[in-house]
Amino acid sequence: MSGFQGELTELGRATPANGNGCNVFVETYGCQMNVYDSQAIFGLLQRAGFATVQSEPEADVVLINTCSVREHAEHRVLSRVGELRRKRELAGLPQPIIGICGCMAERMGDDLQKNNHRIDLVVGVDNYDTLPGLLGELTGHVEPVQRTVTGHRSEAHYVAPPELYPVNNSHLVTIHKGCDYKCTYCIVPYTRGPQSEKHPDQILEEIRTVVAAGGSEVTLLGQNVTAYSWQQDLDFAALLELVADVPGVERIRFLTGHPRDMHRHLMDAIGRLDKVCPWLHIPIQSGSDRVLRRMKRLYTKAEYLDVVSYARKVIPGVTFSSDFIVGFPGESEIDFQDTLEVVREVKYDQIFSFKYSERPGVPAARLDDDVPVEEKKRRLAELMALQEETWNREAAALVGQMWTGVVEAEARRPAGAWRVRTANNRKFVLGGDGIVVGQNVRAKITGYRNTTFLAEIPA
Ligand code: 5AD
Ligand code: SF4
């Protein structure tokens, strides 16, 4: 699972209502899997004749795709529901139908409709095909038989319409769902269920559709893509080879890798296949072997560092990012110092770090959460400060280099500039006329601001 979380992603593209004239807005929290699932929900609803809209005030139905990984993420969603209701009340507008999808739906089920949360519908991760029917009934003022539909179905693999929604010029393609790892702090194996693979033929077919729709870059997604295994016969390295053979695919990224599955033959394949981007997001979570054992991460710090050094040998230009949890139950100052040592040693491009958040029912919930909140906060701040300091040194040394990248979108700042991403996932901002999204550019790095570089095309 990846730490690319917490940002609210608004998916929206106004389409004419061709059926029931009912407008749906989907709001997404959490990881890239949720972004993909929201695209799949869009596709299902559009096919059923619903119109999807860009902004919540226009919507008759608001679906919120949610994350349960930390308590804070869940609180945000519940307060968002209250805010939506209040806004309409104050404006004297009719109330929308509000549905909760995703991990919170799965974890909390019926409870979401109790306790005065004012939620109309709860649909879990494997039941989105029921949405058109349920919404049809609710918008037609028919009381549906069920307002909560949850539970895992191994056969449910949703496919997002690739022509609709590239993310950062890269099309997300989920290759499997769920997780069999059961790290002791994590709720995902319960909310997303056991790991279940999408058929390789279905994955390839989806990627061909992406190419047919004009795409050339895909991001293969899963809680642990590196654990992909189709009937023990085709592993992730073999899948990468097949995807690289699809005509028209130029770049392949993937999220998230588990350090345990970063076998040498996989890293060899990543290094060998030109189309596979040299960027590894491999969450270590902690640098202490004692904590890693208690988290049930199944590797040691030395094994992780061995993966990093082998990857540096066989994958030209490779960069790394990672997730960290600080203040796991029993984490001592010495354990925390081991974590800081990893950051100094690996020199990540980017890290996502979180305070441990106890989740109900997970194995770690039985441990005494004995690191005080203030201490968790202090460790988090120290970890982030060290990353910033380490990264600033790395980034300064990169200024002056010539980089190639693909234009992803207009930059937010400065006006008229473009956001470009390199194969190894570095971002730079470039000004210039006649630039278009999807174009390959080569530019000289002139400076940096946090993790974004500034660049210009040399005269
Ligand atoms: N508390 C804090 N962070 C967590 N993560 C997962 N579960 C928890 C938890 N209970 C973090 C991990 C994971 C990222 C997506 O979220 O770092 O990689
Ligand atoms: Fe990732 Fe571990 Fe959670 Fe699985 S159980 S999603 S491997 S953190």
Ligand 2 pocket check for 182: Cβ under 6 Å? yes
CA 192 to chain centre: 14
Ligand 1 pocket check for 284: Cβ under 6 Å? no
Ligand 2 pocket check for 258: Cβ under 6 Å? yes
The protein residue whose alpha carbon is closest to atom 13 in ligand 1 is 3
Candidate from 106, 174, 181 with most ligand 2 atoms within 8 A of CB, to mutate: 181
Atom of ligand 2 nearest to the CA of 192: 6
Cα–Cα distances in angstroms (integers) from residue 278 to residues 200, 275, 449, in the given order: 23, 9, 22
Query: Ligand 2 centre and the CA of 256: distance in Å?
Result: 10
CA distance 323 to 359: 18
Chain segment 197-249, per-residue pLDDT in tens: 999 999 999 999 999 988 999 999 999 999 999 998 999 999 999 999 999 99
pTM: 0.93
Residue 1 has pLDDT above 80, yes or no: no
Q: Counting ligands in written order, which one lies closest to the CA of residue 322?
A: 1
For β-strands 196-197 and 176-177, DSSP reports them as antiparallel
Nearest to 223 by CA among 200, 191, 249: 191
CB 250 within 8 A of CB 285: no
CA distance 432 to 419: 11
Chain segment 387-439, per-residue pLDDT in tens: 999 999 999 999 999 999 999 999 988 888 999 999 999 999 999 888 999 99
Instruction: Pick the more confident residue, 62 or 163.
Output: 62
CB 153 within 8 A of CB 127: yes
CA 175 to chain centre: 13
Ligand 2 pocket check for 225: Cβ under 6 Å? no
Ligand 2 pocket check for 160: Cβ under 6 Å? no
Ligand 1 pocket check for 446: Cβ under 6 Å? no
CA distance 40 to 42: 5
Chain segment 307-354, per-residue pLDDT in tens: 999 999 999 999 999 999 999 999 999 999 999 999 999 999 999 999
pLDDT tier at 20, thresholds 50, 70, 90: low
Overall average pLDDT of the 82-90 stretch:
95
Residue 276's CB is within 10 A of a number of other CB atoms, namely 22
User: Residue 288: which region, alpha, beta or left (left: phi > 0; alpha: psi -120 to 50)?
Assistant: beta
Quickly tell me which residue has 């099309």 as its tokens. Answer: 171
Supply 346's token pair. Answer: 């690996």
- Angle of helix 32-47 relative to helix 131-139, nearest 10 degrees, comes to 60
Give 30: exposed, middle or buried? Use CB within 10 Å, 0-12, 13-18, 19+.
buried
Overall average pLDDT of the 152-176 stretch:
84
Residue 1's CB is within 10 A of a number of other CB atoms, namely 24
Supply 98's token pair. Answer: 């509000």
CB 295 within 8 A of CB 332: no
pLDDT of residue 12: 37
Nearest to 179 by CA among 164, 190, 163, 166: 190
CA distance 27 to 64: 5
Ligand 1 pocket check for 206: Cβ under 6 Å? no
Residue 193 has pLDDT above 60, yes or no: yes
pLDDT of residue 169: 84
Residue 271: strand, helix, or coil: helix
Which residues, 6+ apart, have CB-to-CB distance to 360 below 8 Å?
107
pLDDT of residue 15: 39
* Domains within the chain, CATH numbers bracketed: 9-149 (3.40.50.2300), 171-395 (3.80.30.20), 402-456 (2.40.50.140)
Give φ, ψ of 299 to 5 degrees: -150, 165
**CA quadruple 134, 115, 59, 127: dihedral sign:** negative
